[in-house]
Amino acid sequence: MQPTVLLSALILAGLMGMVGQGARTVVGLKKLHDSNATQPPDQATTFLASRLVISLIIGFIAGVLAALAIGLDKLTGAAGATVEVLLGLAAAGYAGADFIEGFMSKAPAITGGAAMQTSTGPTGSPRETVPPQQTEQADRLIMQTSQLSTDIASLQSVLATSVASSNWSSLSAVTQITPELVARLFVPATPLANIRTHLPHVLAGLRSYGLADRDMLLMALATIRAETEGFVPIDEMKSKFNTEKTPFDLYEPGTPIGKRLGNTQAGDGALFKGRGFIQLTGRDNYTRIGTQMGVDLVAQPAQANQPRFAGLILAQFLANKEDAIRAAAAADDLVQARKLVNGGSHGLDRFRDAYTKGRVAIPEGIEI
């Protein structure tokens, strides 16, 4: 390869990396501007031009390393660089320092023989995925560039891993929510596979009700942690709080709890026991939430445990008390926030732990 051709390819790769890092910068500046607009002048965050220069240099380096990873022939071939290749370089630049770190740790593993796996998505349709340790962000990137060569796929795997472990927030760029990120709010015993399976339904529910922001995401995840630490929709288990002689007889009509739950017919206690991520309980709740969703949960209460419906039920319940929940969150009153959903303080320790961890792990402006 001629030196001039080699140099041109490296410069092109670096420039594409700068484009990606520039996009990250624009997002960060927009967020910084919006944040400063709500702050007193003496508390506004100052933007440093030197940080911009450093960020662009990092993007250039990441783009060059990405080109070396996939092979410079992808840029210098007779057909020239494809749009997919250029986007891959820009994506590496967007990750910046995270990509560089991932490249240095994983470069020996990049080979032309890397193979993609095929799995089934939540809707049952086939989709391409990266190995389990990769992130949802990588999954989306790979789906968009599924026609790339296996070399490009390997590059994206490195990119995905570096983004997943990112703690670098040069300009507070928006990131995407991933199962690995959510797992930080739960205990080690919570199966990551469960989070991967059910998180899409939780996020879809939040989006459906216009709750796709950090505060409501934390509320949803902390509620799941308090109600079903395994991150899976479940049936309420028998306990001294719901059962005296026969299962859920303390929820039956004529009992104090049964009256509060709106149970009116014999057998309602067991029929309308807690289900789902939020443990929807009682005939009144099944009727009200089901009507709001357009689903007959009274006729088929077990539907509350179906992942798609469980995500929607959780979001609907939060939407019904959105204003009060947001007020409690703004006041840092987690006791009240928990009470608004649970009616009491059951699981408050788990709720508080997850919410507190989420404030640290999940950045403002998270893309949901």
Written as six digits, the tokens of 203 are 């996020």
Find out whether 139 and 153 touch, Cβ atoms under 8 Å. Answer: no
Q: What is the mean pLDDT of residues 92-105?
A: 59
Same domain, 200 and 292: yes
Backbone angles phi, psi at 265, to 5 degrees: -120, 150
Residue pLDDT, tens place only, 111-126: 333 333 333 333 344 3
Same domain, 94 and 190: no
Instruction: Give bridge partners of residue 235 from the DSSP assignment.
Output: 275
Same domain, 118 and 194: no
Find out whether 336 and 297 touch, Cβ atoms under 8 Å. Answer: no
Same domain, 147 and 245: no
Same domain, 130 and 186: no
The 8 Å CB, 24+ separation contacts for 116-123 are 116/142, 116/150, 116/153, 122/197, 122/200, 122/201, 122/307
Domain end position, chosen among 114, 140, 164? 164
Is 238 inside a domain boundary?
A: yes
Same domain, 239 and 133: no
Residue pLDDT, tens place only, 228-285: 989 999 999 999 999 999 999 999 999 999 999 999 999 999 999 999 999 999 999 9
Instruction: Give bridge partners of residue 367 from the DSSP assignment.
Output: 176
- Which structural domain range is residue 78 located in? 3-164
Highest mean pLDDT among 32-46, 73-87, 167-181: 73-87
pLDDT of residue 15: 87
Is 139 inside a domain boundary?
A: yes
- CA-based end-to-end distance of the chain: 45
The pairing of beta strand 126-129 with beta strand 117-120 = antiparallel
Is 169 inside a domain boundary?
A: no
Which residues have a Cβ under 8 Å from the Cβ of 257 and sit 6 or more positions away? Answer: 242, 250, 251
Residue pLDDT, tens place only, 348-363: 999 999 999 999 889 8
Q: Is the pLDDT confidence value at 63 over 90?
A: no
CATH of residue 218's domain is 1.10.530.10
Is 173 inside a domain boundary?
A: no
Find out whether 172 and 32 touch, Cβ atoms under 8 Å. Answer: yes
Which uninterrupted H or E stretch holds 327?
A: helix 322-330
Same domain, 106 and 188: no
Same domain, 99 and 226: no
- How many domains is the chain partitioned into structurally? 2
From the list 159, 149, 83, 162, the residue with the least C-alpha distance to 116 is 149
DSSP code string of 182-244: HHTTS-TTS-HHHHHHHHHHHHHHHHHTT--SHHHHHHHHHHHHHH-TTSS-EEPPP-TTT-S
Is 366 inside a domain boundary?
A: no
Taking the C-alpha atoms of residue 301 and residue 289, their distance in angstroms, rounded to an integer, is 11
Same domain, 184 and 154: no
Same domain, 107 and 228: no
Q: Is the pLDDT confidence value at 305 over 80?
A: yes
CA distances from 190 to 96, 185, 310, 325, 350 (A): 31, 10, 18, 26, 13
Taking the C-alpha atoms of residue 75 and residue 81, their distance in angstroms, rounded to an integer, is 4
The pairing of beta strand 117-120 with beta strand 275-276 = unpaired
pLDDT of residue 101: 53
Written as six digits, the tokens of 340 are 């608004």
Same domain, 155 and 194: no
Taking the C-alpha atoms of residue 247 and residue 41, their distance in angstroms, rounded to an integer, is 61
Residue pLDDT, tens place only, 316-348: 999 999 999 999 999 999 999 999 988 888 899
Is 195 inside a domain boundary?
A: yes
Same domain, 244 and 139: no
